[in-house]
Amino acid sequence: MLKPLLFASLAAIGNAIMVYGQRATASTSNPFFFIFIAIVVCGILFGISTLAFRNGNESAYFSANWQMMAISGFGFFLTFVGFFLLFNNFGATQYTLYAVISIITTTLCVGVLIFKEDFNFYHATALIIAIIAIALFTYGNAQNSSWN
């Protein structure tokens, strides 16, 4: 139970650092330049990590999995474009909306429907609460805009 929490926390901290970097930069006429450079830096770091964990089976692994790697790359692209549009147009506080929608799409679509992972009463209850969170967040946004 502790390891998933630690790994999720690592990802959350990394995500917060990424959002901070994106929000702290000046505007540019090329909306994807920042993301491109950030991904290049990320790619260099992953390249170094890949070399450190090299096992000699990379070619066979690539041959067997290149299609899923391409699909995941497309997913990263959509994620980063969505982050750019969300954060630059509406701010980092809107991350809650992304996070809750991501819980629903990843848990239900990928976990339950595609990979048939376990899903019990407590998971369903948490998902319902996540949906309620979206409704409350949307209502809160409407209240904020009516105050302006």
Same-domain status, 7 and 58: yes
Same-domain status, 100 and 76: no
Neighbours of 9 (CB within 10 A): 10
Share of the chain above pLDDT 90, in %: 56
Same-domain status, 57 and 128: no
Question: In this structure, what DSSP letter does residue 86 have?
Answer: H
Same-domain status, 38 and 65: yes
Share of the chain above pLDDT 70, in %: 97
Largest CA distance in the chain: 60
Q: In whole angstroms, how far apart are CA 29 and each of 50, 83, 114?
A: 34, 17, 39
Host domain of residue 25 = 1-90
Same-domain status, 1 and 67: yes
Same-domain status, 34 and 83: yes
Local confidence band at 145 (pLDDT 50, 70, 90 cut-offs) = low
Same-domain status, 116 and 95: yes
Same-domain status, 79 and 109: no
Overall domain count for the chain: 2
Residue among 21, 11, 6, 7 nearest 92 (CA): 21
Residue among 71, 96, 74 nearest 19 (CA): 96
Q: Is this prediction's pTM over 0.85? A: no
Rounded to 10°, the helix 95-104/58-90 angle is 140
Query: End of a domain among 90, 119, 136?
Result: 90
Same-domain status, 131 and 144: yes
The CA-based dihedral angle spanning residues 74, 76, 82, 84, taken in that order and rounded to the nearest 10 degrees: -120
Exposure class string for 30-61: b at 16+ Cβ within 10 A, else e: eeeebbeeeeeeeeeeeeeeeeeeeeeeeeee
The pLDDT of residue 147 is 53
Is 148 a residue whose pLDDT tops 60? no
Local confidence band at 19 (pLDDT 50, 70, 90 cut-offs) = confident
